[in-house]
Structure 1
């Protein structure tokens, strides 16, 4: 098959021998793509500096169906997101977003919405006044794009309208349970109605509007716990970058 050309963001790199790397990209046209960058660690390689984690560029690769690893022909850098790399908090969360996409997104399944979300999040990240709130927004929007978004407006089990001073977020049932269905899951995460409303607001908000949204410490704790458990349920593991964030930030 002839070479394919698409925009791509580097979401993972892995050394292969002394001179090569396996690069995982996220693309709007092919979804997740894994490819070998031959000789990229050689001093003579023209691709060495461009294939760094989080870089956005134009990817040229030889695409073969049913092949686990493709072959990179060229990668032209569009944006290295330099403002992210000079801030420890930003680069740490940027790596988390990349790992989350790598953990859930499918290879070979085009999803331009995920690519656009990842790109726009990296563009906004250095401007965010509340990076953890941006992280919750990314998690929620990404889960929606990937088809795993939680039910927040009605009971996830019986579809009844929600009411009560505390709401029960069920990972197993995929969202909020009403008072009559809470007993169906004994490991729910409690949410204030205000935290649930905040989740619904984040789901529909544009990133550039996040700096106008204020969240209390309790809102932050509840959203982090609920979405964290939800993501762990779907990835079946605790992401390394998220553990690092919890230890250091």
Structure 2
């Protein structure tokens, strides 16, 4: 059966001497693997369609639920700037790998697709990559069913002032000081950072404008979102390890 989908390349790997297998996050068909014959050859007309972060229309044949075989394609947005900048490529790779690990094969992924599309566009437009990824991580958590509780204590349900709230990545939300014994490692957070998290919870990535955030707030947000991703999703990402090394040595 012949399929025509709009998709983003979230993974690309060599297969055999001259071929590649790409993984597409599509708007209406979920996550799909497609074999691209001859993609490694110098004169291949399909080589550009296999590049990471590429957004395009892909036409492929598939019999059953296995790999598809690419027939044709057309690029809508190559995102070459992301691939050409080591710093941006690291952030974009993390966004793609995170979605790849969360999204199941052929799971309906319209919202996933739209958020990844908006994430890559925001990175290419020069918006703060740390904030873009934190917002993207929040959307991933929410869509996967692990959105944090940020308004009332996740244990007792009481409303407290922001100054009396801690963040518990393990329990999945804010924790009042009276319930801190339930999670002693809960993170102290400044009210301005908690307000930013609530904005992340309400905001769609497609609505993100230019935003300026204090450096100390960005450090806190990264720590908190990293905690939620680790505790709630429990996945180890190669791209994140590279991103950490790059930031550590200020590459």
TM-score normalised by the chain length of structure 1: 0.88
Counterparts of residues 62-141 of structure 1 (less than 5 Å): 62-67=61-66, 69-141=67-139
Partner of 1:238: 236
Superposed CA deviations along residues 55-113 of structure 1, whole A, max 9, x for unmatched, are 0011122344443x333332221110233334332222111111111111121111211
Which range moves more in the overlay, 73-82 or 46-55? 73-82
Superposed CA deviations along residues 186-207 of structure 1, whole A, max 9, x for unmatched, are 3322222221111111333455
Q: After TM superposition, give the deviation of residue 209 of structure 1 in Å.
A: 4.3
Matched, 1:34 2:33: yes
TM-score normalised by the chain length of structure 2: 0.88
Task: Give the alignment partner of residue 192 of structure 1, picking from 183, 190, 195.
Answer: 190
Matched, 1:5 2:4: yes
Superposed CA deviations along residues 123-178 of structure 1, whole A, max 9, x for unmatched, are 22133342211111111123223322211122223332233525322222221122
Secondary structure of the structure 2 residue equivalent to 1:165: helix
Cα distance between partner residues in 1 of 2:189 and 2:10:
32
Kept in 2, the 8 Å contact 1:30–1:109? The answer is yes
Which range moves more in the overlay, 38-47 or 21-30? 38-47
Cα distance between partner residues in 2 of 1:189 and 1:64:
50
Query: What RMSD over aligned residues (CA atoms) do the two structures have, in Å?
Result: 2.1
CA spacing shift, 1:216–1:72, aligned 2, 3 Å: same
Secondary structure of the structure 2 residue equivalent to 1:49: helix
Kept in 2, the 8 Å contact 1:13–1:53? The answer is yes
CA spacing shift, 1:123–1:194, aligned 2, 3 Å: same
Q: After TM superposition, give the deviation of residue 235 of structure 1 in Å.
A: 4.1
Kept in 1, the 8 Å contact 2:7–2:58? The answer is yes
Kept in 2, the 8 Å contact 1:93–1:135? The answer is yes
Kept in 2, the 8 Å contact 1:114–1:146? The answer is no
Matched, 1:202 2:200: yes
Partner of 1:149: 147
Kept in 1, the 8 Å contact 2:172–2:232? The answer is no
Which range moves more in the overlay, 178-187 or 2-11? 178-187
Cα distance between partner residues in 2 of 1:166 and 1:62:
57
Secondary structure of the structure 1 residue equivalent to 2:48: coil
CA spacing shift, 1:219–1:13, aligned 2, 3 Å: same
Structure 1: any 5+ residue segments left out of the alignment?
Answer: none
Counterparts of residues 206-217 of structure 1 (less than 5 Å): 207=205, 209-211=208-210, 213-217=211-215
Cα distance between partner residues in 1 of 2:77 and 2:99:
19
